[in-house]
Amino acid sequence: MLSSAQTPRFLLLHSRFPHKLLHFQTPKSLHTFQTQAQILSPSPPTSQILTIRESLLSRSTTAVELASNYLHHLRRTEPHLNSFLHISDTVLKEAEEIDRKIQNNEEVGPLAGVLVGVKDNICTVDMPSTAGSRALENYRPPFDATAVRKLRECGAIVVGKTNLDEFGMGSTTEGSAYQVTANPWDLSRVPGGSSGGSAAAVSARQCIVSLGSDTGGSVRQPASFCGVVGLKPTYGRVSRYGLVAYASSLDVIGCFGSSVADTGILLNVISGHDRHDATSSKREVPNFTFQSISPDSIESKPLRGLRVGIIRETLQEGVDSEVISSIRDAASHLEELGCSLTEVSLPSFSLGLPAYYILATSESSSNLSRYDGVRYGNQAVADVLNSLYGDSRAKGLGSEVKMRILMGTYALSAGYYDAYYKRAQKVRTLVQKSFKTALDENDILISPAAPSAAYKIGEKKSDPLAMYAGDIMTVNINLAGLPALVLPCGLVQGGSAGLPVGIQMIGAAFDEEKLLKVGHIFEQTLQGCCFVPPLVADGFAC
């Protein structure tokens, strides 16, 4: 069984110079890619962002060289992955401007030269923002989302817009109106959703980091399926201005990276209060960047005294045995680092899934009413106003979106509001209280990020209830508004080289700093392993 996070066959070394390893050798058939994992010397994941900055400032490479290499790799892998809906045509021009500033000894931002993928439901002024829907085909916003604006101000280059389930409604990225994204670990499998394009792009090294959105697990589940780090911040930590709304009380913008350090740096840049978003927090933003810890520190038990609660309900029936084994192995590793581990019960945990789908669909029925062909969305040709509305929505919106709108409208309708929506809000309060009680007694909680590893494309498309059930590990955290970090902890059987499994670490509200610290130490002390999919293993040692 391949459930152990320390199975040597799958340990891949992390290069200290990722920019020098972007001269990929693409085989004749990516479908026959085989992982050639070798352990030369233990070396944990390092920050690509910091390495790139050091290389640019020391002038050992240029932003144009870096961008050219990534674009070359992106174009060769993209036909097999379909991670992106749009590729920017100004990447090299922006890279040239960074090189000019460095040449003239001008100050450049902390993300200078870093290529970022942005989920296509986050507005960008210079590229279409379709939210994966035909209703917004070719829509170009007149502004950048606040998170995107902050990235650009720090020197980041938006390489393109990533694929997603339409309006964020889905768990596989099969719900996109344009294309289906494949998982870099096995091209016959889904990358997760709805931020599957952003997760797959980072996993396949098509970009360095990426932004996604998380309403009920849309950052964390794809991170687990694709073997990357995914962070859902506390609700209000990052401005939602410029994020196409699905369920406004649940939506957050989250981060993907190939290391915890890079994810923290990305969060550091996009966090903070925004006058355009009344729900954004005015709390002071701590510094989410930190120095790498030496793997040798495991001898000193760097997490001594940390109280970790493993959620009992997440390791019961309905969860794959290999996933449970991987999470228990990860919990044992935390104990080796000095943590005290206890089992925690959240009695309301199973109630979160139905409550989430009532609340999310109810909010979506309101939010998506604007796509009527008049206010927003492509307009159908009709002689009568009601026909114009109906035809525009019928042609512009996909089947999953229509179904969720109808579900939400039903839950909010007269005679059913108290039975469904009001009761779901009461359950949400119970979920919040149960998490508060558990986190009063523990510093963090842990669970799987999904009940299984990535499944086959099309396997659950005809069974929406089974797909919805896959969100059970993540939706409660959105209902409670808490932060959660997912990072790879092991591999299970599947594909040519195994499939990644992610551990989910849950913290108290606005305690991302602790999650990132624990995740970083966990990652750095896991025998120097990191996760590179077969798609890029040859010619790109980790």
What percent of the chain stands above pLDDT 70? 89
pLDDT at 296: 63
Query: Cα angle at 436 between 215 and 266, to 5 degrees?
Result: 45
Nearest Cα neighbor of 535 from 106, 21, 29 is 29
Does the annotation mark 93 as catalytic?
A: no
> Which strands form 115-119's sheet, in the order they lie side by side?
84-87, 157-162, 115-119, 209-214, 252-257, 229-232, 484-492, 499-506, 444-448, 307-311, 340-344
pLDDT at 297: 60
* Cα torsion angle, 278, 284, 286, 287, sign: positive
Q: Peptide bond before 194: cis, by omega within 30 degrees of 0?
A: yes
Does the annotation mark 452 as catalytic?
A: no
pLDDT at 298: 61
Whether pLDDT at 309 is above 90: yes
- The whole-number average pLDDT for the span 142-153 is 98
Catalytic residue among 55, 83, 88, 119: 119
Query: In this structure, what token pair is assigned to residue 525?
Result: 């002390």
Give pLDDT tens digits for 223-281. Answer: 999 999 999 999 999 999 999 999 999 999 999 999 999 999 999 999 999 999 999 99
Give pLDDT tens digits for 336-380. Answer: 999 999 999 999 999 999 999 999 999 999 999 999 989 888 888
**pLDDT class of 291 with cuts at 50, 70, 90:** low
Catalytic residue among 43, 55, 176, 218: 218
Catalytic residue among 194, 362, 447, 452: 194
Contact 519, 505 (CB under 8 A): yes
Does the annotation mark 514 as catalytic?
A: no
